[in-house]
């Protein structure tokens, strides 16, 4: 799966008159290789692991998520 940075580098900037491509975004066929399923895969996996642990041990837990 490509990274978001690589997708953004190849994307056309709709606000740049030099690279603007006229058309209707909603009706264009999309390149499936540029599809990003989730940008938060690692944090979601960590949260799922923690919730599984809480489900097993039945102890009260707190989850603090801070964006860095």
The string of pLDDT tens digits covering residues 28-63 is 787 878 777 777 888 888 889 988 998 898 888 787
pLDDT attached to residue 68: 65
Is residue 25 domain-resident?
yes
What pLDDT is recorded for position 27? Answer: 79
Identify the pLDDT of residue 17.
73
Q: % helix / strand / coil in the chain, to the nearest 5? A: 45, 0, 55
The torsion of the CA quartet 15, 26, 38, 3, rounded to 10 degrees, works out to -50
Answer yes or no: is 41 within a domain: yes
Residue 8 falls inside a structural domain: yes
pLDDT at residue 12 greater than cutoff 80? no
Domain that holds residue 34: 4-57
How many domains does the chain divide into?
A: 1
């Amino acid at each position: 799966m490509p990274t978001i940075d690589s997708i953004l580098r190849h994307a056309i900037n709709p606000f740049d008159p030099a690279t603007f491509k006229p058309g209707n975004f909603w009706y264009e066929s999309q390149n499936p290789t540029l599809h990003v399923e989730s940008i938060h895969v690692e944090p979601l996996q960590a949260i799922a692991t923690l919730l599984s642990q809480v489900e097993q041990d039945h102890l009260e837990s707190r989850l603090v998520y801070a964006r860095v």
